[in-house]
Chain A
Amino acid sequence: MKKYKNQTLLLLIIALFILPFFLNSYWLDVLTLVLFYVVLTQGLNIVVGYTGLLDLGYAAFFAVGAYTTAILMTTFHWSFWLTLPVAFLFAVIAGVIIGTPTLRLRSDYLAIVTLGFGEIVKILATNLEITGSASGIYGIPRPAIGSYIMSTQKDFYYLILIVAILSIIAVYRLGRSRIGRAWIYIREDEDAAEAMGINRIRLKLLSYASGAVIGSIAGSIFAVKMSAIAPLSFSFLQSVMILLAVVLGGLGSIPGVVIGAVLVIVLPELLRGADDWRHLIFGVSLVAMMIFRPQGIWPSKNGTEDATDMDENGKSNDPNQSMSV
Chain B
Amino acid sequence: MEIIFQILIDGLVIGAFYSLVALGYTMVYGIIKLLNFAHGDLYMMGAFIGFTFLSIFTGDGGVNTGLLGVGIVFIGTMVIVGLLGMGVERIAYRPLLLAPRLSILITAIGVSLSLEYTSMIGWGASYKVYPIILPNDGLQILGTQITFAQIGMILLSALLMLGLRLFIDKTIYGKAMRAIALDQTACSLMGVNVHQIIALTFFIGASLAAGAGIMSGIYYGTINFMMGFIIGLKAFTAAVLGGIGNITGAMLGGLVLGVIEAFGTFYFGGSWKDVLAFGILILFLVFKPTGILGAKEMERM
Interface residues of A (CB under 8 A from B): 48, 52, 54, 56, 101, 104-109, 111-113, 115-117, 119-120, 123-124, 126-127, 236, 240, 243, 247, 251, 276-280, 282-287, 289-291, 294, 308-325
A interface, over-half SS: helix
B58 contacts A by Cβ under 8 Å: no
How far is it, in angstroms, between the C-alpha of A262 and the C-alpha of B301 when the chains are bound?
34
Enumerate chain B residues within 8 angstroms of A247, measured Cβ to Cβ.
Answer: 106
How far is it, in angstroms, between the C-alpha of A99 and the C-alpha of B194 when the chains are bound?
37
Per-residue CB contact flags for chain B residues 217-237 toward chain A (1 = under 8 Å, else 0) read 000000000000100010010
Contact A310 B100, CB 8 Å, known A101-B282, A276-B117: yes
B169 contacts A by Cβ under 8 Å: yes
User: Among the listed A48, A101, A317, which residue makes an inter-chain contact with B184, where contact means beta carbons less than 8 Å apart?
Assistant: A317
Contact A323 B178, CB 8 Å, known A287-B92, A287-B110, A313-B301: yes
B141 contacts A by Cβ under 8 Å: no
B31 contacts A by Cβ under 8 Å: yes
6 further A-B pairs in the complex, CB-CB below 8 A; given A120-B279, A289-B110 = A54-B105, A115-B233, A283-B111, A318-B33, A321-B298, A322-B178
Nearest B residue to A282, CB-CB: B113
How far is it, in angstroms, between the C-alpha of A322 and the C-alpha of B187 when the chains are bound?
14
Nearest A residue to B229, CB-CB: A236
Enumerate chain A residues within 8 angstroms of B168, measured Cβ to Cβ.
Answer: 325
Nearest A residue to B104, CB-CB: A290
Contact A290 B30, CB 8 Å, known A313-B301, A314-B301: no
Least distance between B29 CB and chain A CB atoms (Å): 8
Enumerate chain A residues within 8 angstroms of B272, measured Cβ to Cβ.
Answer: 123, 127
B1 contacts A by Cβ under 8 Å: no
B89 contacts A by Cβ under 8 Å: no
User: Among the listed A105, A119, A291, A323, which residue makes an inter-chain contact with B246, where contact means beta carbons less than 8 Å apart?
Assistant: A323
Within 8 A of A (CB), among B83-135: 91-92, 95-96, 98-107, 109-118, 120-121
Q: Is the CB of A314 within 8 A of B113?
A: no
B156 contacts A by Cβ under 8 Å: no
Q: Is the CB of B245 within 8 A of A106?
A: no
B281 contacts A by Cβ under 8 Å: yes
Least distance between A176 CB and chain B CB atoms (Å): 22
Q: Is the CB of A325 within 8 A of B100?
A: no
User: Among the listed B30, B102, B112, B289, which residue makes an inter-chain contact with A105, where contact means beta carbons less than 8 Å apart?
Assistant: B289
